[in-house]
Structure 1
Amino acid sequence: MGDSPWGAVGVGSEVYVSRSESIAVSVIDTNINEVVGAAINTVRNVRDLLHDTSEGKVYAIGNGNDSMAVIDVASDKKVSFYDTVVGPDSLALSHDGKELYICGDNGISSQVGRYDVENDYKNTVVFDAELALQGIACGNPSQTPGGKRYLYVCSFATDEIRIIEVVDAETLIFTDQVIKVGTHPRAIAINAAGTHAYVANMDSNNISVINLKTYEDIVTIEVGVRPGKVKINPVTGWIYVSNFGAINPRGKGSISILDPSTHKFVQTLELDGTPVGIGFSSDGLYGYVCMWDKDEVQVFELDVQ
């Protein structure tokens, strides 16, 4: 693979993988578990990927420049480019699929931008924040208090989840509600039903499980060292946490697996290297783990419950 693979996302019978030391996104055919075709040129230092199933697009962002690449899956993987917020770090789609949100931080300031999916990704608002925001997820209005549209963002420096209300297409505001979590929250994922959020707390080595009706931290689950990514298997609903491992000396990373029905730790996959993004095959039976420092993607058969 090469170029420090970072993000992965399943797209039908393929898994798209970003190579963070380049502009390249490679495509793995899950039927043969091999890279197929030429790499897709996207943005510099490409990292996070998101599959928009309704539009048939894959969104790619990186911290090398303030832009997004939109890959048209059906149209011979044609790529279009759009300006974004500063230091784009993470992406989220609204529950109805009509709005794309990008959270960014360049070390000086943080921003959240809204992009109109149905209007050629027109940027309708940029929300500026002094906090270090690193991770974003969209709530399901059927599950949020008052049925409002909320964004949930990780405030890395203050150990909180901050809640942004989407008032309209041009207005985003912080609510007064703050959810305290563990030390240095780095990533957040919300289950398909929109009832619970899972927050990876990088420097307390745990996951906070948030009830999105009450905003209570209902349980804290111990995982591996420096959890930095959390992904939910779209078929099974099981939660997979990428534990980066120690920095100095660099330790071995791992994947922690959590059962959503009990919110309990189930299993650890010990790895010889640093895992980052995880993608899943369309049947949910296989996980594709980006090994950042090994320049490879490892494939695991998952015990689907």
Structure 2
Amino acid sequence: MLTRRSMTTAAHRRTGTSGQARVRWSRFRSVITALATGLAVLASLPAPASAGDARQGRQVAYLTNQGNDTVSVVDITTNTVIATIPVGGAPTGVAAGPGGTRVYVANRDSDTVSVINTATNGVIANIPVGDEPNGLAVSPGGTRVYVANFASGTVSVIDTATNAVIATIPAGDGPNRVAFSPGGTRAYVTNFASGTVSVIDTATNTVIATIPVGVAPIGVRLTPGGTRAYVANLGSATVSVIDTATNTVIATIPVDSQPSLVAVSPGGTRAYVTDFGAGTVSVIDTATNTVIATVPVGTQPFGVAVTAGGTRAYVCNVDSMSVIDTATNTVIATLSLPDGPFEIAIAEVP
């Protein structure tokens, strides 16, 4: 399974072989049991999300914990853990539906997706998908969830009305993470072992383009206008910028060691990239495609999400969550989470 311990090994192997041999995350089955030390404990928390992030709904963060097969629920107005939800084995990817009523979790060892009702913070369904699901994304309309199945080399398509898989799409070698275009007409899938991004036409559920990027791509996010996709290449220490009109890479941005996941600000002016190997977050100006800040966070940062108002970025470290003030690019709070937080999604709960 994908664990923090395996990340460095995977990066070295991909860099050395340059795509000659297929890498399967299942080679790295060591579980982070050392991190499973109980319920999350509140640490020093000087600053919650600002008033600029106030919305009609309450913003709540959902973090997958690979250390004990749970999801931590954090109220980001107070930066406190309000619930811990048991899910499947080795929860990895997490995504919130647009209405804020559902959160979807990819369980890598269970080959399932758990569906969480945010009103009760309980699991209401477990959906069988492909082999070793890693990342997933909810369509802008909320009707579909696309799941990247690493070992199957496929993408499962879930109908959210029935919580059933309605299509399975062949992708590249080692599908890892998924992102939708703003209109939902395209899904972009990183293929870790192929060093490519598959572009899926969601009307036909077929791959219409395959884009070479860097070595061992993981995270992918699109700008709000949908004109650019940012891809974090773990093995190259770069971020590829894709022009979605031509499906070509138009820029390659050097970042810190082992870039993993990406978040884009609501205005599309900034991209935030977790640098797993360096313990930092690289902040990219999307107008110039240059790194304008490097923010020290915790050890082995992986998941990252930006609040709806864009004033805060939340980062999952090996045993904590860092809160970044996006105006100053500094960490203003740290929440201790000893159960191994891995990825994060922020839901605007009604």
TM-score bucket (shorter structure): 0.7 to 0.9
Greater helix share, structure number: 2
Q: Give the SS at the match of 1:101.
A: strand
| Count of aligned pairs between the two proteins | 277
State the match for 1:50 in structure 2. 95
Q: Residues 264 and 45 of structure 1: is their aligned pair in 2 closer, same or farther, counting only changes over 3 Å? A: same
State which of 192, 198, 211 in structure 2 corresponds to 1:162.
198
Larger strand fraction of residues: 1
Q: Deviations over 1:129-161 (max 9, x none)?
A: 56222122223459xxxxxx3322222223222
Confirm whether residue 190 of structure 1 aligns to residue 222 of structure 2: yes
The alignment status of 1:131 with 2:173, answered yes or no, reads yes
1:173 maps to amino acid: T
Alignment of structure 1 residues 211-226 onto 2, 5 Å = 211-226=243-258
- State how far apart, in whole Å, the 1-side matches of 2:145 and 2:59 are: 24
Once residues 47 and 212 of structure 1 are traced to their aligned partners in structure 2, the CA distance between those partners, rounded to angstroms, is 27
Amino acid at match of 1:154: T
After superposition, give the CA deviation of every residue in 1:150-199 in whole Å (9 maximum; x if it has no partner).
Answer: 3222222232222233344xxx3333x33221122122111222111001
- RCO higher in structure (CA 8 A, sep ≥6): 2
Q: 1:267 to 1:55 in 2, by over 3 A?
A: closer
Task: In structure 2, give the amino acid aligned to 1:150.
Answer: R
**Stretch deviating more after TM superposition (219-228 or 123-132):** 123-132
Partner of 2:305: 279
Question: Partners in 2 of 1:202 and 1:94 — Cα distance?
Answer: 25
Deviation at residue 281 of structure 1 after TM alignment: 3.5
Given residue 243 of structure 1, which amino acid in structure 2 is its aligned partner?
A: D
**Cα 1:304–1:97, aligned 2, differ >3 Å: closer, same or farther?**
farther
User: Secondary structure of the equivalent of 1:275?
Assistant: coil
Q: Identity percentage over the alignment?
A: 26
Change (3 A) 1:120 1:135: same
Are 1:174 and 2:207 counterparts? yes
Shift of 1:94: 2.5
Q: Structure 1's 180 and 267: CA in aligned 2 closer, same or farther, altered over 3 A?
A: same
- Map of 2:326 onto structure 1: 302
Gap change, CA 1:279 and 1:137, over 3 Å in 2: closer
Q: Secondary structure of the residue that 2:131 maps to in structure 1?
A: coil
Q: Is the 8 A contact 2:224 2:268 kept in 1?
A: no
* Cα shift at 1:297: 1.2
Report the Cα distance in structure 2 between the residues aligned to 1:29 and 1:85, rounded to whole angstroms.
32
Structure 1, unaligned stretches of length 5 or more? 143-148, 246-251
CA RMSD in angstroms comes to 2.5
- Select the residue among 188, 205, 212 that pairs with 1:152: 188
Equivalent pair of 1:101/1:112 in contact (CA under 8 Å) = yes
How far apart are 1:82 and its partner, in Å?
1.6
Residue 28 (1) aligns with residue 81 (2): no
TM-score normalised to structure 2 length: 0.72
In 1, Cα distance between the equivalents of 2:211 and 2:236? 16
Cα distance in structure 2, aligned partners of 1:92 and 1:297: 22
Looking at structure 2, the residues matched to 282 and 55 of structure 1 have their Cα atoms a distance apart, in angstroms, of 12
Deviation of the 1:116 alpha carbon = 1.1
Q: Write out aligned runs for 1:60-99 (5 A).
A: 60-74=105-119, 76-80=120-124, 81-99=126-144
Q: Runs in 1 of length 4+ with deviation above 6 angstroms?
A: none
Structure 2 stretches lacking a partner, 5+ long: 1-34, 41-52, 330-350
Residue range with higher mean Cα deviation, 215-224 or 47-56:
47-56
Q: Does 1:253 align with 2:295?
A: no
Query: Match for residue 346 of structure 2?
Result: none
Matching of residue 121 in structure 1 with residue 167 in structure 2: no
Change in Cα spacing, 1:130 to 1:218, as seen in structure 2 (3 Å) is closer
